[in-house]
Amino acid sequence: MFIRKKSNASGSTSVQVIQKVKGKYKVVKTVGCATTQHKIDKLVNLAKQEIENLFQQPQLFESESDTAIDKVFGTLQNASIRTLGPEIIFGKIYDSIGFGAINEPMFRHLVLSRIAFPLSKLKTVDYLYRYQGESLNIDTVYRFLDKLNNRIKNQVEQIAFAHTKKVLNGMLVLFSTT
């Protein structure tokens, strides 16, 4: 907060207590108007006292728990926040299909992020950093995809085939009983 002396069209000077909120100046209180320098100085002193009173005034609706919450959230950064929804929902499906047998954390991250947010590989890396806290280089992703194609592809296909076969057999049993 600060004090502003504003000249009026009538020739007087207004003394105001100003606060900047969201990039805009907001008049908290107009202390008064005066035409002589002596009266303007008195108003400035009153404005200083008003600012002190505003800072000393206790918050009526703020509890200790609110202060503690503000303190905790004040220490958070974007890298500290993770989105858990896709991991909870799609992670359960991923594991029920049987892909958990593939012991490659990068595979899980890429599969779940591409299902939740089907974007480019570069945007996937950005998503993993922003929402999962995983810092990956795009070159690491490309190297992993080469490894996936050369070594893990057959295992992924076998797991997907076995799961599909199990689901279809379950459907055949269901339709044959009706």
- Give the pLDDT confidence of 21-67 residue by residue, as tens digits: 888 888 888 999 999 999 999 999 999 988 888 777 555 556 667 77
CA distance 133 to 84: 11
Domain count, the chain: 2
Q: Are residues 108 and 164 in the same domain?
A: yes
Q: Report pLDDT for 174.
A: 67
> What is the rounded distance in angstroms from the CA atom of residue 123 to the CA atom of residue 113?
10
Domain assignment of residue 66, yes or no: no
pTM over 0.75: no
The residue behind tokens 């105001």 is 16
Shared domain check, 90 and 172: yes
- Distance of alpha carbon 136 from alpha carbon 28, whole angstroms: 48
Q: Predicted confidence band at 74 (pLDDT cuts at 50, 70, 90)?
A: confident
Q: What residue numbers bound the domain in which 30 lies?
A: 2-57
The vertex-162 CA angle with 157 and 163, nearest 5°, equals 100
Residues 86 and 165 grouped into a single domain? yes
What is the per-residue pLDDT across 117-152, written as a single tens digit (0 to 9) for each? Answer: 888 999 989 888 887 778 889 999 999 999 888 889
- Decide if 75 is inside a domain: no
Tell me: do 85 and 47 sit in the same domain: no
